[in-house]
Homo-oligomer: A and B are copies of this chain.
Amino acid sequence: MAGNTSAPGATVVSRALALLYAFDDRHRRLTLTELARRAGLPVPTAYRLAGELVAGGALVRRADGAYVVGRRLWDVGLLAPVQTGLRRIAAPFLNDIHAVTRATVHLAIRDGAKVLYLERLSGRASVPVVSRVGARLPMHATGVGKALLAHAPYEVQEAVMADLAPLTPYTITRPDRLRAQLEQVRRDGCATTVEEMTLGACSIAVPVRGRDGEAVAAIGVVVPTLKRDRARLLSALQVAAQGVTRSLGG
């Protein structure tokens, strides 16, 4: 487009998308300079393109100058067929768990070597929960992550083992320990975490099986402690997972 481009070959569309993708869970609002740096564009270019995105409603510029994602993009994003079938089928079962346990309930799938949270019902208890719909978290430190990892292909397990980043002092960082836990998950049919992702938060999760028996998703709850209610939570999760599996099959 321009004679003096610093990165010839990059199209306008790719630059515009780079601006949109500069936003993530940790960066929901960006100043122009941050936006330009994260998108890898010169400031004037970012300024102009971001201005067009604002004009189109894809971004919004707030009074203080910071850019945030616009409602128009929210609209369009919701049209993405991200497991719509699974989410629709699972929704009532998740509600049941929530009604019974009052805990934070999650529905997640595996996305590469991460857990992708599809749904979340917030509990009322004051448990610190970092997950969010659309967030991708490490598999080795979350309940739903371990439930999915235990039934994931060998290559995925190895990829995860290669980077067991510690998030709290209780995060499992030794591959042999994680391997042993995954074995236990397969035996017990459920996975647990104890302050491995966030201090003060424990979780328990079960896999959801498709009609061919493969683990297609996981359902889990986050609670302050597992000591008291473990059995009760587990049975609620198992009933729900069974129900989802049945609905998927039929």
Interface residues of A (CB under 8 A from B): 1, 11-14, 16-17, 20-21, 23-25, 28, 49, 52-53, 55-58, 68-82, 88, 91-92, 95, 98-99, 121-124, 132-134
CB contact between A68 and one of B1, B14, B25, B81 (< 8 Å): that residue:
B81
On whether the beta carbons of B95 and A52 are closer than 8 Å, the reply is no
Q: Which residues of B contact A73 (CB under 8 A)?
A: 20, 73, 76-77, 80
Contacts A17-B57, A92-B123 given; 4 further ones with Cβ under 8 A?
A: A16-B16, A70-B80, A91-B122, A95-B122
Which A-B residue pairs are the 4 nearest by beta carbons?
Answer: A77-B77, A74-B80, A78-B134, A12-B12
On whether the beta carbons of A23 and B77 are closer than 8 Å, the reply is no
Q: Which of chain B's residues has its CB closest to A75's CB?
A: B134
Q: Which of chain B's residues has its CB closest to A18's CB?
A: B56
On whether the beta carbons of A69 and B74 are closer than 8 Å, the reply is no
CB contact between A28 and one of B28, B71, B79 (< 8 Å): that residue:
B79
Given A20-B76, A69-B77, A69-B79: A52 and B92 interface contact (C-beta under 8 Å): no
Given A13-B52, A53-B17, A99-B98: A71 and B78 interface contact (C-beta under 8 Å): no
Q: Which residues of B contact A70 (CB under 8 A)?
A: 80
On whether the beta carbons of A71 and B79 are closer than 8 Å, the reply is no
A243 to chain B, nearest CB (A): 11
On whether the beta carbons of A52 and B99 are closer than 8 Å, the reply is no
CB contact between A76 and one of B23, B56, B57, B122 (< 8 Å): that residue:
B23
On whether the beta carbons of B78 and A133 are closer than 8 Å, the reply is yes
* 9 interchain pairs, CB-CB under 8 A: A1-B1, A13-B53, A13-B56, A17-B56, A28-B79, A74-B78, A78-B132, A91-B121, A92-B123
Q: Which residues of B contact A16 (CB under 8 A)?
A: 12-13, 16
Q: Which residues of B contact A77 (CB under 8 A)?
A: 69, 73-78, 80
Q: Which of chain B's residues has its CB closest to A56's CB?
A: B17
On whether the beta carbons of A122 and B17 are closer than 8 Å, the reply is no
Q: Which residues of B contact A13 (CB under 8 A)?
A: 12-13, 16, 49, 52-53, 56
